[in-house]
């Protein structure tokens, strides 16, 4: 009797050969499926399954288990409440019952059926969310198809006008002041007070519990200092690398005759729908499945790549609108003078995009600097970042060091934003 891997390999080759055989009769809509290259899919799928199964046997399932315990019930509740036929909010109450049944009768038929139902419902939610993102990206493309409406920079000079607010100025200013006070100043004040007190309570005066021990502890331990330096390095280098990638993607999708420019834009915007934990988990599996990526394991480089992938849509959202404001007639004038596409993009589009690129770099710096969810599955001793250190403090119940390190993070972010505005004269939004 042949071993399993030989028999399944021969069967896959036979299936591929059948796919590659020419057919005498086929529908017009199925003509693309006659391509013989489809024959490689069955054997490649088997090879991929073998690699994934082997990687699953080698890796620890503890992190995946905790992630599933949190994500699967939430996604299942979302499916029962929104994405299934006759969905109602009350239907989501079935999820705790299914979860309890799967937990209590984990080895029985009823428990397995409950776990399967939760998994199926979570997949329904994921599929629905991806469909919604696809629809929104398509709708964005349709709304931005007439780019002439957004043009402000063109061959002929034009003077922009301010939008008149009229009598709405003062109500909107008051609403903005309330939002800034409650949403920004009050949380920062509480964070600063907790960072310099042993404990914070309205029953004890602040000056009686005043202390700088939390700050001293952070700057005295090499691990905590290294997490700050790692975050700054990742934000500077990774933000710069991501900005270059964003500029290249924006110019290709908006100013090039590339055949798959629209598909590239879809791919660049899709990471916006993926949570940071899932991004980190995906990179972890990629390092396990593909051996050549193993050199990135437990390194800062994998954090840079993961952050770049996650925040590519954010940077693109800062650059693409600015590029839409530049009229294509400037590109056409350069091409008429004999410049090729790259020279035109470098001499005109990218030069006019300098303020937007600086703003995108600042926004990406902030995103890289504050992220922790993406790094949870990827960091190791020596590659800690501020976010993972904050998380470890919080798990240990040390609220004081959490507030002190978070306050240092806020101050460093403020210093960076102010420095960018002072050096380049660019306002940072986002």
Looking at the fold, whether 107 and 241 belong to one and the same domain comes out as no
Residue 142: inside a domain: no
Of 79, 99, 130, the residue that ends a domain is 130
Residue 281: inside a domain: yes
Residue 403: inside a domain: yes
Do the beta carbons of residue 235 and residue 417 sit within 8 Å?
no
What is the reported pLDDT for 44? 63
Residue 23: inside a domain: no
Mean pLDDT of the region 330-359: 82
What is the reported pLDDT for 24? 47
High-pLDDT (> 70) share of the chain, %: 77
Looking at the fold, whether 394 and 254 belong to one and the same domain comes out as yes
Looking at the fold, whether 299 and 399 belong to one and the same domain comes out as yes
Mean pLDDT taken over the chain: 77
**pLDDT band at 1; cut points 50, 70, 90:** very low
What is the reported pLDDT for 237? 92
Of 23-32, 230-239, 348-357, 364-373, the one with minimum mean pLDDT is: 23-32
CA-wise closest residue to 364 among 278, 264, 231, 238 = 238
Residue 333: inside a domain: yes
Of 28-37, 165-174, 271-280, 360-369, the one with minimum mean pLDDT is: 28-37
Looking at the fold, whether 292 and 401 belong to one and the same domain comes out as yes
User: Which CATH number do you get for residue 350?
Assistant: 1.10.3720.10
pLDDT in tens, 42-94: 556 556 545 544 554 444 445 555 556 677 778 778 788 877 777 777 777 88
What is the reported pLDDT for 33? 56
Looking at the fold, whether 246 and 370 belong to one and the same domain comes out as yes
Higher pLDDT pick, 307 / 151: 307
What is the reported pLDDT for 26? 46
Residue 240 has pLDDT above 70, yes or no: yes
What is the reported pLDDT for 174? 92
Do the beta carbons of residue 337 and residue 306 sit within 8 Å?
no
d(CA 309, CA 331): 29
pLDDT in tens, 134-146: 777 777 666 665 5
CA-wise closest residue to 265 among 309, 313, 326 = 313
CA-wise closest residue to 310 among 368, 363, 252 = 368
Residue 316 has pLDDT above 80, yes or no: yes
Of 130, 153, 188, the residue that ends a domain is 130
Residue 187: inside a domain: no
Mean pLDDT of the region 98-105: 82
What is the reported pLDDT for 37? 63
Of 130, 154, 187, the residue that ends a domain is 130
How many CA atoms lie within 13 Å of 296's alpha carbon, on the beta-carbon side? Answer: 19
What's phi and psi for 2, nearest 5 deg? Answer: -70, 150
d(CA 416, CA 239): 13
What is the reported pLDDT for 291? 76
The number of folded domains in the chain is 2
Residue 169: inside a domain: no
Domain that holds residue 51: 40-130
Distances (CA, A) of 287 to 182, 295, 372: 43, 8, 19
What is the reported pLDDT for 61? 46
Looking at the fold, whether 263 and 389 belong to one and the same domain comes out as yes
Looking at the fold, whether 222 and 87 belong to one and the same domain comes out as no
Of 46-50, 234-238, 405-409, the one with minimum mean pLDDT is: 46-50
What is the reported pLDDT for 120? 80
Looking at the fold, whether 240 and 118 belong to one and the same domain comes out as no
Higher pLDDT pick, 225 / 22: 225
| Beta-bridge mates of residue 210 | 197
pLDDT in tens, 204-218: 777 788 888 888 888
How many CA atoms lie within 13 Å of 38's alpha carbon, on the beta-carbon side? Answer: 12
Residue 144: inside a domain: no
């Amino acid at each position: 009797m042949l071993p399993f891997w030989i028999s399944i390999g021969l069967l896959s080759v036979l299936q591929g050969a059948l796919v590659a055989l020419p057919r005498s009769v086929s529908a017009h809509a199925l003509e693309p499926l006659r391509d013989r290259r489809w024959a490689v899919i069955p054997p490649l799928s088997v090879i991929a399954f073998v690699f994934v199964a082997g990687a699953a046997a080698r890796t620890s399932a503890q992190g995946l288990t905790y992630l599933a315990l949190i994500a699967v019930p939430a996604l299942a509740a979302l499916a029962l409440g929104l994405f299934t036929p006759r969905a109602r909010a009350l239907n989501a109450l079935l999820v705790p019952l299914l979860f309890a049944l799967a937990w209590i009768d984990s080895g029985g038929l009823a428990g397995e059926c409950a776990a399967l139902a939760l998994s199926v419902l979570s997949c329904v939610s994921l599929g629905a969310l991806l469909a919604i993102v696809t629809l929104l990206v398509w709708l964005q493309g349709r709304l931005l198809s007439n780019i002439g409406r957004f043009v402000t920079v063109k061959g002929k000079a034009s003077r922009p006008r301010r939008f008149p607010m009229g009598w709405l100025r003062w109500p909107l200013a008051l609403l903005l002041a309330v939002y800034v006070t409650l949403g920004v100043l009050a949380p920062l004040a509480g964070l600063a007070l907790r960072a310099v007190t042993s404990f914070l309570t309205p029953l004890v005066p602040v000056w009686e519990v005043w202390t700088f021990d939390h700050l001293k502890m952070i700057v005295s331990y090499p691990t905590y200092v290294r997490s700050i330096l790692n975050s700054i390095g990742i934000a500077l280098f990774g933000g710069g690398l991501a900005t270059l990638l964003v500029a290249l993607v924006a110019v290709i999708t908006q100013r090039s005759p590339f055949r798959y420019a629209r598909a590239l834009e879809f791919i660049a915007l899709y990471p916006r729908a993926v949570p940071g934990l899932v991004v980190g988990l995906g990179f972890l599996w990629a390092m396990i499945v593909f051996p050549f990526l193993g050199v990135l394991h437990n390194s800062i480089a994998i954090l840079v790549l993961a952050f770049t992938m996650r925040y590519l849509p954010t940077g693109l959202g800062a650059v693409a609108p600015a590029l839409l404001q530049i009229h294509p007639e400037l590109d056409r004038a350069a091409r008429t003078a004999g410049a090729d596409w790259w020279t035109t993009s470098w001499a005109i589009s990218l030069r006019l995009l300098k303020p937007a690129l600086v703003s995108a770099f600042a926004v990406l710096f902030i995103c890289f600097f504050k992220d922790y969810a993406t790094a949870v599955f990827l960091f190791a001793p020596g590659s800690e970042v501020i976010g993972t250190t904050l998380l470890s403090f919080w798990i240990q119940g040390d609220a004081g060091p959490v507030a002190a390190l978070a306050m240092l993070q806020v101050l460093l972010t403020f210093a960076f934003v102010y420095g960018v505005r002072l050096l380049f004269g660019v306002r940072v939004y986002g």
